[in-house]
């Protein structure tokens, strides 16, 4: 879990948004937006998780979600809403969906799960980058040149560490999947 994570809470119900921000703020930095327009003004790549209401008067959560994804903001989005999901949710690019009311421990669990998922994605992305760099170096450089380079040795060490980390994460996947399924979403 990322201790210095930033969570953006978006809800037009001021008291609820403030309460969610206080709860999440016990563990993470928080930002609060009381409208869809305000959310789009404050969301940036420093935000790790967005807790987003679907029904807001100025700009719906669905519109905010689409704009955040279109802008390629690197964050996870959890819909936290009183709108009962229908088949339209299949077209929405959210990462999780909670129906209000939401208990505070569930809210914290979902944020933690999204941060874990984001960290896993980051490790996988880094691993793929390291493997690509090693591959191109090994395909184009003479072996004796690589053996003498400290940077190449460090890259090999990083690749092994990332591979081990990802293998450990995969071993724990069943536990993570059970915990994810155990969240009461409706």
CATH number at residue 63: 3.40.50.2300
- Tell me which residue of 126, 129, 132, 124 sits closest to 170, measured CA to CA: 124
Q: Which of 81, 112, 143 is the last residue of a domain?
A: 112
Question: Is residue 55 within 8 Å of 83, Cβ to Cβ?
Answer: yes
Closest CA to 20 of 117, 115, 106, 118: 106
- Identify whether residues 49 and 74 lie together within a single domain: yes
Nearest CA to 24 out of 92, 89, 82, 98 is that of 98
Structure confidence by residue, pLDDT tens digits, 93-113: 888 888 889 999 999 999 998
Percentage of the chain beyond pLDDT 90 is 44
Co-location of 18 and 105 in the same domain: yes
Q: Are residues 129 and 51 in the same domain?
A: no
- For the entire predicted model, the pTM comes to 0.75
Question: Over the stretch 115-155, which tens digit does the pLDDT of each residue have?
Answer: 988 877 777 767 876 887 777 767 666 666 666 577 778 88
pLDDT given at position 45: 93
Quickly state the pLDDT bin for 4 (edges 50, 70, 90): confident
How many folded domains does the chain comprise? 2
Same domain membership, residue 125 and residue 107: no
Task: Please tell me whether residues 83 and 108 are part of one structural domain.
Answer: yes
Q: Residue 88: which pLDDT band, with cuts at 50, 70 and 90?
A: low
- Identify the domain boundary among 112, 132, 154: 112
Range of the domain at 92: 6-112
């Amino acid at each position: 879990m990322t201790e210095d994570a930033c969570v953006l809470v978006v809800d037009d119900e001021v008291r609820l948004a403030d309460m969610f921000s206080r709860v999440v703020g016990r563990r993470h930095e928080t930002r609060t937006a009381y409208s869809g327009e305000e959310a789009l003004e404050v969301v940036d790549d420093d935000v790790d998780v967005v807790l987003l209401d679907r029904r807001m008067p100025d700009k719906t959560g669905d519109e905010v979600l689409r704009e955040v994804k279109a802008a390629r903001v690197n964050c996870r989005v959890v819909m936290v809403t009183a709108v009962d999901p229908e088949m339209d949710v299949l077209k929405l690019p959210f990462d999780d969906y909670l129906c209000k009311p939401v208990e505070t421990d569930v809210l914290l669990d979902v944020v933690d799960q999204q941060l874990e998922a984001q960290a896993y994605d980051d490790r996988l992305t880094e691993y793929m980058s390291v493997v690509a760099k090693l591959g191109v170096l090994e395909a184009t450089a003479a072996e004796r040149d690589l053996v003498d380079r400290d940077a190449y040795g460090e890259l090999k060490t990083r690749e092994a560490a990332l591979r081990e980390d990802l293998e450990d994460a995969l071993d724990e996947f069943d536990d993570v999947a059970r915990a994810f399924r155990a969240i009461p979403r409706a």
